[in-house]
Chain A
Amino acid sequence: MTARTAPAKPLRVRPSGTARRPWKYRTPLIALADLVVFVALWHVAVVELELVNRVFFPSPGDVAGSLATLISSGELAGHLGTSARSWLIGYGLGAAAGVVTGLATGSLPWANRLLMPLLWSLWATPLIALQPTLTAWLDYGDGPIVVLVFLSTMIPVALNTATGAAQTSPSLIRAARVFGAGRMAVYLKIRLPWAVPYVIGGLRLAVPTSMIGLLVGEMVGSPSGVGSIIVNATARFRTGEAFAAIGVYVVLSVVLVRLLDLAERRAGGWRNHA
């Protein structure tokens, strides 16, 4: 590339005679305004206009109240602890297994030929369909949940890592060989760093899928965990509580995706300058 202040992304070009500096806080402020308008409309629709039956559809105040109760009674903390443990174990093990499988699949031609199609086809399938069978095998409780989270994390991570490892620039590998790198060194110094942004991309993809695994496990066959709050509260028409529990999930997912987005941008920085 030339020395111009070449923008990495296409810029919006406005010759500056007419242009005003786009305001730095525009986007977050609009988002905040969105939130305020949304909550206000929700409140008016439920409380003032009574468009829906409040037993079935809580108002923002009801949700906040339920959330406060869930927190103060310690109920939320307990369930959240259970959920977090299942998720962390499943996601952690799944990520590790995914990276190892992915590196092997991406760099060994025979593994690539054998495993890649299987990984793709597993990625296409609803793994949560295994939930009832897993429950039959492992009994009710955390077992099937951890396995579901594990599977739904491992597949995207393995796929992405394999893609990254397989696309490692051959000339870089050749260069490493020239400078005396052995098999192991090629893995550690070339393939792994090359694949890191892909791994992170896979980890990010795995956040929603693993959350789905966790939720299905908790909603369908578990007495504890945040997902079970949703099911039990709904069954007792305590919709405020269900909403509060969903809200907890929303916040968790958004935060996790954001974190991994950030990590991806950090680790993938060099990729954008090609």
Chain B
Amino acid sequence: MATDPIIQIRDLSVRYHVARTGNRLIAVQDVDLDVMEGEFLTVLGPSGCGKTTVLNCVAGLLTPTTGTILAGGRPVTAPGPDRAVVFQDYALLPWRTVADNVRFGLEMQPRLKEGAADRIAEAIRLVGLSGFENSYPRELSGGMQQRAGLARSLVADPRILLMDEPLGAVDALTREVMRAELKRIIDATGKTVVFITHSIDEAVQLGDRIAVFSSHPGTIKEIVSVTPGNRDGLRDQLWKSLESDAVAAARGAAE
């Protein structure tokens, strides 16, 4: 067992420069976070508190204004094969079939040329999309599209999975089913996961630990561990902790 965390975030701050208004916006301030190998960390927080921003920094899509991020002990400067991302809007290439979309996860890594077909078939089977290899994304339901996105992220066998509200855009029923599926798939692969969600239920059900964000400025408010015994108590505690922030955010929305 590795003793060092697989993801280490230190003093992370990100400021956006909003080109349209010319203003600067502090999206994230002073975030410290460690994620252990094999851990399922859920991230909970009100809208606009900077969850996506933090995730994009870990993914290497965004350069932090200040602070450092280590993944597997190495500083993150760009996206890498050790980290895969599942997007809320799936981000599947509409001109590729499911199988070709999944292949996209391998394509840019020459070392995985060999046995690509097997890997792809395996990933598709794992997410339960067998039989839809030749379908185009628009021919699939939202839940199935997200399965394809998941297969794409798993196919190159990354150590870390970053998921940004992966179930945010599917309907409630599919969501329940997919939650259980996700749990099964992640357990089967033993990956380290950072999982953003808006749903307290989801956070409690899936996570080993929960990082709770607060906004203005976006930072981590608390980190709680989930044990089989404390799930129900946690729900209430989290709800209380988020309520004021959520109300404030909703008010902000109304303005």
Contact = CB atoms under 8 A, between A and B. Distances in A.
B35 interface: no
B111 interface: no
Contact of B19 (A2, A4, A12, A15): A12
B253 A21 contact: no
Contacts of B250: 3
Contacts of A22: 19
Contacts of A17: 15, 63-66
B126 to A, nearest CB: 32
B18 A3 contact: no
B252 interface: yes
Interface stretch (B20-28, B127-135, B149-157): B20-28
Contacts of B15: 15-17
Given A15-B62, A16-B24, A21-B22, A2 B47 contact: yes
B186 to A, nearest CB: 27
B36 interface: no
B47 A21 contact: no
Nearest to B250: A3
Interface on chain A toward B: helix, strand, loop, or mixed SS? loop
Contact of B253 (A3, A7, A16): A3
Interface in A5-34: 5, 7, 9, 11-19, 21-22
B89 to A, nearest CB: 13
B14 interface: yes
Given A3-B48, A4-B48, A5-B25, A15 B253 contact: no
Contacts of B234: none
Contacts of B25: 5
B70 interface: no
Interface string B53-83: 0000000001111100000000000000000
A15 B63 contact: yes
Interface string B2-29: 0000000000001111111010110000
Contacts of B47: 2-4
A8 to B, nearest CB: 8
Most buried by A among B14, B19, B62, B63: B19
Contacts of A11: 18-20
Find the residue from B16, B17, B252, B255 having the highest chain A CB count within 10 A: B17
Contact of A16 (B65, B249, B252, B254): B65
Contacts of A2: 47-48, 253
A229 B254 CA distance: 60
Interface in A77-97: none
* Max count, chain B CB within 10 A of own CB: residue among A7, A13, A18: A13
A14 B250 CA distance: 27
A21 B17 CA distance: 8
A13 B14 CA distance: 11
B18 A15 contact: no
A249 B62 CA distance: 47
A7 B63 contact: no
A12 B22 CA distance: 12
A81 to B, nearest CB: 43
A14 B16 CA distance: 6
Contacts of A9: 20
Nearest to A14: B17
Nearest to B254: A3
A5 B18 contact: yes
A13 B16 contact: yes
Contacts of B254: 3
24 contacts: A2-B47, A2-B253, A3-B249, A3-B250, A3-B252, A3-B254, A3-B255, A4-B47, A11-B20, A13-B16, A14-B17, A15-B16, A15-B17, A15-B62, A15-B63, A15-B64, A15-B65, A16-B15, A16-B16, A17-B63, A17-B64, A19-B17, A21-B22, A22-B19
Interface of A: 2-5, 7, 9, 11-19, 21-22
* List of 10 A-B pairs having minimum Cβ-Cβ separation, nearest first: A3-B253, A17-B65, A16-B17, A16-B15, A19-B17, A4-B48, A2-B47, A15-B65, A3-B252, A11-B19
Given A3-B250, A18-B63, A22-B19, 13 more contacts: A2-B47, A2-B48, A3-B48, A7-B20, A11-B19, A13-B16, A15-B15, A15-B63, A16-B17, A16-B65, A17-B63, A17-B65, A21-B22
